[in-house]
Structure formats: C-alpha cells, structure tokens
A and B are shown apart, each in its own frame.
Chain A
C-alpha cells in the first residue's frame, strides 16, 4: 500500500484544505511555507526542537494505564497519553515551540495567536516570554469570561490579551481578528495558529509538530504491551491533538481512529459543535475548505459546547478527508456526558482532565463497555482541567 502522504503541494486533502485568503496574505503564507520546507528536515532545527521538547516541555509524556477506571467501566483496558503533564498543561505547547523556532529563524519580533480555551494562548505566551518576543493573543470576549485563570496566566507571562467582541465572541471570531492583525502587520509578525485549520501550510505544519504525540505512543505501547492499541480516541474541535496522535497511526489499518466532537446540548437540538457528526455541508472559512456549520445562505452559525476549546463551527481539513476516506470515525458526546466522565476520572484516577479531553474520555467509556478486557483503548489525555474548575463549580452550584 502507498504510504499516506497528504496534503498535496498546494495544501489540499482531496477537496479539503487549500489557501482561501485575501491576496495580501498570500506572500506571507508563501514565505512561511518555504521556511517550513527549508527547516522541517534540517538537522540543526530538529536538534533545537527536540532539545526544547525534552527540557522545556518535559517530553516524552508517559502513557498511564487507568486500571481502576477501566475496572470500574468494565470491558477494554483504557490507557491515557498524558499530554496534561506537559509544561503549560496541554498538547498545544508541542506546536507553539515548533512555530516559535520558525519565527525566530524568520526574524519576526512579534507573535500573535488566537485562543479558545486559553491553552494555546498560554502556550504561545510561554514560548514568547522565553524567546523574548512580543505576544498578542486574541480571545473571544465570551471565552475571556469562562476561562479567567488562563487569561491571567497569559498576562503574567507578559502577553497582551485582546478580548474580541465581534460575531459570536468565541474562537472563530478570535481567529478572524488574528487574521486581520496579521494582514496589517505582516512584515513584523508571525501568526502561530493553534489548530490544524487555517490556510496551507498551517494544517500540515501544526499536525507535524503535534505528531510527536503519536510517534511516542507507537514506541511506548510496543514497550508496555508489545503491541499497538485496538482503538485510539481523541477529542476534536479544530482537531490538533487528534491529528497529532492519529497521524503516525494512519498507515496501521488495524488501529481504529475515533475523533470525538462536542454534541453540546445534543446534535438534534442544533446547539452543538460537531460538523462531522452532524453531516454539516462543505464550505470555506479561515483559509480552508472543510465541513462547516452554516445556514442555507452560507452564514456561519453559532456553536455550543461546554468546553471553549471545542466551540468551533469547522474542523481541520485533514479530519474532513479522513472521514471521507473512512480512515477515521467521528462521533459526538454531550456536555452532560463529558461532565460525567470528567468527575469519573477525577474520582477513580486522581487526574483532573480538561473539559475538552473529557469528551474523548466519555466516548472511551462507552466504547470500552462493548469490548473485551484484553483489548486496549488509547485516549489522548490532551490537557489538564485546572482551567475548567470555575466552569464545573458553577454547574454544580458551588461558588469558589
């Protein structure tokens, strides 16, 4: 079989992906693409990247057998890839470290980023502080409210956080505003996109920087069990942690790949953030073609999820592709199911997961029950849940 080699040189995954931006951005994207091509296999660049991943991020992250939780659930054994143990508490830092090293090589003194839950913003602010770069983070005004601890964290790290008041005031609007900043300050500014969306080369580049997760899993699973898992499960908003763990497994057809979207109040209510599961139409947003939640007139509709990091109307174009070629499956779990899984992991394993990650956990729990005890589910525990305690407390009517 031909090894998987998407995207094509123009950034297309079949009909998905591409470069759908105003002319002013084309030059900057060309420059970025050429810089990335130049360094992605460069030994000095990789040496510096691996040094940072090891000594600054704390990689490799362990895989942990959630034995008590597996027993409680009953069925397959659930293993957790502990991306929550990374510096800054999520997988996001793998990508920001990589892109920041590119920014440094391109001589750009100013970094901008968009953020939903704040994890990507924190990771970007962190690496900017370390490299002495100016950092501006765009964040939907709605998310600024529900992710207050991360907002303060970014400020402590010297970043300027700009609340975005336009549109639905969430992640998609933060992305619009970051793009507007980039087009205005193109010569001095590097835009670190945090997910596998945006115009080419971002979906490919963000995937590549995150694929360290899947690469580690392959050798760690072999070491621990002498084999690969039966199923890999990860949550999908834009889809960066899922692409990171899926990518090295794409060419192993015996390993099922399942992406878990946010069903919010339920797919049938329309208040969700699950374009793949809900069979949303194909459209163009934020520089790429993908499945997109929209009305009949092509206006992007408001999404809902308890987790800010999944509250996005589109999905990375490579996930759209993997769905179409049936290499990955996509399902969705509701706010309530995710919350239950959140509490369940806290109480049985002593791990507080992010609400985003809790969606993957909720599906793993459902799936495990249908499987045998000698089968293995590997979940990407993409982030820790400290940032979510205010949200969870509020739902439980507890004031902190």
Chain B
C-alpha cells in the first residue's frame, strides 16, 4: 500500500480529513523550502503538495504564477525539487509528498528518468496539470511500476464517461477542481461541489480531495464535510508572499493551525 493510501486509511480510522497545503518549491527561496515543509507538517499538514516551478503555468492564477516566477528567479528546476524532497525525507519518512507541475519539465528530462529520480527521492504522487489520461498512459504505467500514485484532476465540466476513464488511471486520490477557472480564482459553490463529489463517490472507493478555491478556514471546514481531503494552494502562497524571511515560518504555521482546527 502506498504512503498516500496509508495516510488516508489512518485518517479514516480516526474520522479525520486530510489537509494538504501547496507550496511552490523554491518560493520564496530554495534554502527555505525544506524547513517550510517541516513547519507545515508540525502544524497539521497530512501531506504536502510541492509545486514544480514552470515558466508558463497555464492553469494557475496570478498568485501561483508569481510563486513560480520567484522560484525561477533562483533557477529552481526539477533537480532542486528532487534534492528538497530527499532533504525532507532525512527527518520525515511518514508524510506523503506529491509533486504538482506541468508536462514540459518532465519531458525535458524524459519520463523514465523523471520516474527514476522521483522514486530515488521518495516522492509519493504526481499531478501533471496538462496531462489528461489519454496523453500519458505510458507515464502512468511507469509511475505505477514504481508504486508512485498518479493523481488526476476532475473538473466541474467532466462528464460521466470521462470521470470513469480517469478513475481507471488514477491512484492515491482524485483531485476535484472545485471551480471553472485557474487556481485561486473565486469562491467555490459548496452545494455544486457536494453534488459532483457525490456522483464521483458512487463510482470509486478512491478518496476525493477538493481544491482550487479554498480561501480560508471557513471554506476549508465546509469542504472537509463533503470530501476526504482539502487542498489549500493560493491562500498558502499568498501568506508566503506577504511574509518576510523572519516571520515566514511563523506565519505559514499559524495559517496551517487555523486550517487544521477548522477541519477537525
């Protein structure tokens, strides 16, 4: 069983929901990423979604675009991301790490090399935003061979046949994009999310995470009621953006704790 599946199992036994913060690797500085990851876990994160910086993040809103730009200003790329995960694993072998990014950096080093290196760094799951299941069968197979989960996005516009197709390819959990738009775009419509999550749940036993519009503790609380995991991305990145290097750890820890309390 994968580390992600184990985490969901353990949470279920204690009737808790997973809380997954997103940060972009190297934002605001590559030297800070690993200590930020530890701080998030210490303050209540069950898993961490670590963004791979990309020059053209087409599915991201301005907040996460700026995070990518800050990381790229320090030339952070996949090789740094793998090093960060390795460094994190020196002190933490429990918390699942999910890499989220775009296809091109993966293809630049090659799918096989990517999977090898992800395994070597002890990564647990991959979300590739612009890899719909039809275009990444081979990649998904390679990941599966190494017991790395392929996490796919489902959207409000995904029709039933597509949901089924995606479920066949997916492992770890399903990531339901709560709104039509880019990351951090707007407030989510809880009722709409609830009805769609309900439909998906009838088709699969995989846990369902919800993200893209969770802006505060109150929204996180509502989302947690209807899903298995809450992903907080733009809000967390905004906190990073508004901090300086002296209060950064303190600020993201505080936000994480607020979210944890709301979700529990």
Q: Are B77 and A297 touching (Cβ within 8 A)?
A: yes
A14-40 interface mask toward B, CB cutoff 8 Å, 1 = contact, 0 = none?
000011111110111000000000000
Chain A nearest Cβ from B81, distance in angstroms: 10
User: CA separation between A18 and B132, bound complex, in Å?
Assistant: 10
Report how far A28 CA is from B55 CA in the complex, Å: 25
Give residues 161-214 of A contacting B (CB, 8 Å).
166-167, 172-173, 176, 179-180, 183-187
User: How many contacts A-B (CB < 8 Å)?
Assistant: 124
Interface string of B53-66 (1 = CB under 8 A from A): 11111111110010
Question: When the two chains form their complex, are residues B104 and A300 in contact, meaning their CB atoms are under 8 A apart?
Answer: yes
The contact of A26 among B61, B72, B109, B157, by CB within 8 Å, is: B157
Closest A residue to B62 using CB positions: A166
Contact of A283 among B107, B131, B157, B181 (CB under 8 A): B107
Complex alpha-carbon distance, A83 and B158, angstroms:
41
Contact A292 B129 (CB under 8 A): no
With an 8 A cutoff between CB atoms, is B103 at the interface? yes
Q: Which A residues are CB-close (under 8 A) to B145?
A: none
| Inter-chain contacts of A301 with B (CB < 8 A) | 55
**Once bound together, how far apart are the Cα atoms of A173 and B58, in whole Å?**
9
Query: Are B56 and A20 neighbours in the complex by a CB distance under 8 Å?
Result: no
Contacts of A185 in B (CB 8 A): 180
Q: Quick one: which of A19, A27, A180, A300 contacts B61, CB cutoff 8 A?
A: A180
Please provide the chain A residues from 265 to 301 with a CB less than 8 Å away from any CB of chain B in the complex. Answer: 281-287, 289, 292, 294, 296-301
* A180-B182 in contact (CB<8A): yes
- Residue pair A172, B56 in contact (C-beta under 8 Å): yes
* A67 within 8 Å of B (CB atoms): no
Query: Once the chains are docked, how many angstroms separate the CA of A318 from the CA of B155?
Result: 30
The residue among A19, A23, A184, A186 with the most chain B CB atoms within 10 A of its own CB is: A23
For B158, the closest partner residue in chain A by CB is A23
Q: Decide if A179 touches B58 in the complex (CB within 8 Å).
A: yes
Q: List A residues 313-334 near B (Cβ within 8 Å).
A: none
Q: Bits for B145-182, please: 1 = Cβ < 8 Å to A, else 0.
A: 00000001111111100100010000000000100111
Asked if B258 lies at the interface with its beta carbon under 8 angstroms from chain A, I say: no
Chain A residue, CB-CB nearest to B182: A180
Bound Cα distance from A217 to B57, whole angstroms: 40
Given the complex, which residues of A lie within 8 Å of B153, measured CB to CB? 22-24
B135–A20 contact, CB under 8 A? yes
- B130's partner among A10, A21, A186, A281 (CB-CB below 8 A) is A21
Q: Which of B131, B156, B159 contacts A24 (CB 8 A)?
A: B156
Q: A285 and B104: CB pair below 8 A?
A: yes
Residue in B55, B59, B77, B107 whose beta carbon sits within 8 Å of that of A167 in the complex: B55
CA A287 – CA B58 in complex, angstroms?
A: 10
Interface residues of B in 36-83 (CB under 8 A from A): 53-62, 65, 69, 72, 75, 77-79
B-chain residues with CB within 8 Å of residue A180 when the two chains form the complex? 58-61, 181-182
Closest to A300 in B: B55
Bound: A18/B108 CA distance, A? 17
Chain B: minimal CB distance from A111 (Å): 18
CB distance from B234 to the nearest CB of A (A): 13
8 A-B pairs in the complex with CB atoms less than 8 angstroms apart: A22-B153, A23-B158, A27-B157, A27-B162, A180-B60, A183-B180, A184-B180, A296-B108
Which residues of A are interface residues toward B (Cβ below 8 A)? 10, 18-24, 26-28, 166-167, 172-173, 176, 179-180, 183-187, 281-287, 289, 292, 294, 296-301
